[in-house]
Amino acid sequence: MSVRPLASSWEQRKLGNCGTTYGGLSGKTKEDFGHGNARFVPYTNVFDNPLTDTKRLETVEIDSSQNKVAYGDTFFTVSSETPDEVGMSSVWLSDQDDVYLNSFCFGYRQDSTFDPHYLAYMLRSSSIRSDLSLLAQGISRFNISKNKVMELSVPVPSAAEQKQIGQYFARLDSLITLHQRKLELLRNIKKSLLDRMFV
């Protein structure tokens, strides 16, 4: 399947016109973490993955005053040591109960304008990443505000195109993961053979 380049006919819309934001965990101390029946998405999970790893969560006590994440939400990091790494995004594709977001990120709940997979990969594209890095402010540590991110204009193809694009990149990711596992297996086999041969 081929994907056409960004078309000028695609509509441009501001993220803020397509959804609302919410904050991550607040009012917590380190004693609140590491136990409890709720979980939260850590910063590194958001930073590392266009699609959030739903198994890579940490524990915290249930707190009804906190914002819970929902299927299709997008998370943005708000702080980093370089402007190029600010505003990294990750889309949550799970219906798990009692999951919160870490305090160094904010959530974005869109109004169904975007296919979740399309949104995940589009926000990680080099052009959007470049636009986000320009919004970073700071000297030794860089930050980005919710309001600035919501001002960002992004391409909005038709729903059918979004679905095709999202599925295409999701399949590529699956292939990459599969080959990485094969590569790791081959490396382990090689190491085992070397260890046995040269005792």
pLDDT in tens, 123-169: 999 999 999 999 999 888 899 999 999 999 999 999 999 999 999 99
Tell me: do 101 and 161 sit in the same domain: no
9 falls within a domain: no
**Which structural domain, as residue segments, surrounds residue 193?**
157-199
Instruction: Find the DSSP H helices in the chain.
Output: 43-48, 116-123, 126-134, 146-150, 159-197
The structural domain count of the chain equals 2
Per-residue pLDDT tens over the stretch 45-56: 999 999 999 999
Asked if residue 127 and residue 31 are part of one domain, the reply reads yes
What is the value of pTM for the model shown? 0.86
Which residues are CB-neighbours of 75 under 8 A, at least 6 positions away? 41, 46, 52, 69, 89, 90, 91, 92, 101, 105, 106, 107, 108
Q: For position 1, what pLDDT does the model report?
A: 52
For residue 65, the domain's CATH number is 3.90.220.20
Banded model confidence at residue 100, pLDDT cuts 50, 70, 90: very high
Question: Does the residue 7 lie in any domain?
Answer: no
